[in-house]
Amino acid sequence: MSTSVAATLSIPRDLQRARILRFSLGVSVAAAVAFAFQWPLFFLAPALTVFLLAHPPPGPPGHAAWRLGIAILVSFALGLVFAHILLPYPLVYVTFLSLALLRINYWVHLGGVRTHALLALIAILLLPMMTLKQQNLAGAMLLSLSFLASTGLAALAFLAATILVPDPAGCDTMLHSSHSKPADPYAAKIAAIKSTLVLLPITVLFLSRGWASELLILIFVAIFSLSPQAASSRAEGSKFVTANLIGGAATLLFYWLMVAVPEYHFFVVLMMLATLAFGSMIFSPGPLGGFMMPACIALMVLIGGSMTEHTGYMDNILIRIVFISLAAIYVVFALAVWDRVIAGKQAGELTS
């Protein structure tokens, strides 16, 4: 049983309703602001808000937001180091990237906060890719600052939602679900190596080929690699892929409704309804409850990423649905392969 389902089964109904309303409010506010101004990487704000409210950082809202702000600044500084100091030296960059991915994944599997780990992963993966898109330092720094704008908005939306929609009286279990389940150091080391071996090849491929226009794939691979459901079993992994196809279908429905009524106010109302629907599934004990968070992120990123290109909107959505589905399949397949390799190695050591 997934962590989200188990948590939902053990909480009161009124707390579940509060979580759903909080999720819808926070994500809708972030989306309304981000889509209104559309700075570079604006779609990252509602996507991160989805992750924050589905896997909230531990502690009271104020304390969680304060630690989140520190994590954003540290991640931004780390991303700048990789983008502007290490990137010009490919071998040095790949070496330090491998070490950073290994350390971040090891920390997560030892019980670290997934949200903070995701921020660090996005920073060290995206900021170098964004630097490749610009020929001058000023343009690269402007794109890098968009990371701060998007993550800052996500943190503010998270804080506002948790303050405006608090837990019901007597319930204090809301902000304790984002820690990974702690593993022993050896198991954490093995899991970190697997996650690093999944992330590193695709990152090096994107950088070497200069595929900066497909940043969405790197975002999703980073999110997928932090999702325990993707690695738990083949059946669970297939549900993970199915959930992302559901997100793609929701994106197409969202697009067709926006074509019918192309008004900003209708967009906000539609976003509230969509997030209420996704929130109901994320915090429900249904079979896909623990897998719908990536599907909701797919909705945010697909709509936002395609809106930045003013031609071929429908084609962009369809192509990116295929790419994101392939990214999910890649993560599930790669983790399964490394599971078999490591299991075979351990079996050989036991028989020798």
What percent of the chain is predicted at pLDDT more than 90? Answer: 30
101, pLDDT greater than 70 = yes
Q: What is the band of 14 on the pLDDT scale with cuts at 50, 70, 90? A: confident
Q: What is the band of 69 on the pLDDT scale with cuts at 50, 70, 90? A: very high
Rounded Cα distance, 141 and 119, in Å: 18
31, pLDDT greater than 90 = yes
> Which residues 6+ apart lie within 8 Å of 28 measured at CB?
268, 271, 272, 275
Which pLDDT score, from 0 to 100, does residue 120 have? 93
Q: Of 106, 114, 143, whose CA–CA distance to 127 is shortest? A: 143
> Which residues 6+ apart lie within 8 Å of 168 measured at CB?
12, 14, 15, 18
Q: What is the band of 9 on the pLDDT scale with cuts at 50, 70, 90? A: very low
Contact 289/2 with Cβ under 8 angstroms? yes
The neighbouring-strand residues paired with 207 are none
Rounded Cα distance, 72 and 10, in Å: 32
Q: Of 154, 87, 126, whose CA–CA distance to 214 is shortest? A: 126
Judged on CB neighbours under 10 Å (0-12, 13-18, 19+), 58 is middle
Output the CA torsion sign for 93, 125, 328, 309.
negative
Tell me the two tokens of residue 40.
């570079």
DSSP string, 66-84: HHHHHHHHHHHHHHHHIII
Beta strands in the chain (DSSP E): none
Q: What is the band of 346 on the pLDDT scale with cuts at 50, 70, 90? A: low
For the chain, report the end-to-end CA distance as a whole number of angstroms.
Answer: 35
| Segment of 21-30, 88-97, 167-176, 294-303 carrying the highest mean pLDDT | 21-30
Q: Where are the domains of the chain?
A: 3-351
DSSP string, 118-160: HHHHHHHHHHHHHHHT-SSHHHHHHHHHHHHHHHHHHHHHHHH
Between 6 and 204, name the one with better pLDDT.
Answer: 204
Q: What is the band of 233 on the pLDDT scale with cuts at 50, 70, 90? A: low
> Which residues 6+ apart lie within 8 Å of 20 measured at CB?
276, 279, 280, 283
- From residue 5, alpha-carbon distances to 103, 289, 292 in Å are 29, 6, 11
339, pLDDT greater than 80 = no
229, pLDDT greater than 60 = no
| Residue 179 backbone phi and psi in degrees, to 5 | -70, 140
Rounded Cα distance, 16 and 197, in Å: 37
The neighbouring-strand residues paired with 113 are 179
Task: Convert the pLDDT of each residue in 133-142 to its tens digit.
Answer: 776 777 777 7
Name the DSSP letter for residue 30: H
Q: Of 258, 294, 277, 301, whose CA–CA distance to 45 is shortest? A: 301
Judged on CB neighbours under 10 Å (0-12, 13-18, 19+), 101 is buried
Q: Of 226, 240, 229, whose CA–CA distance to 116 is shortest? A: 226
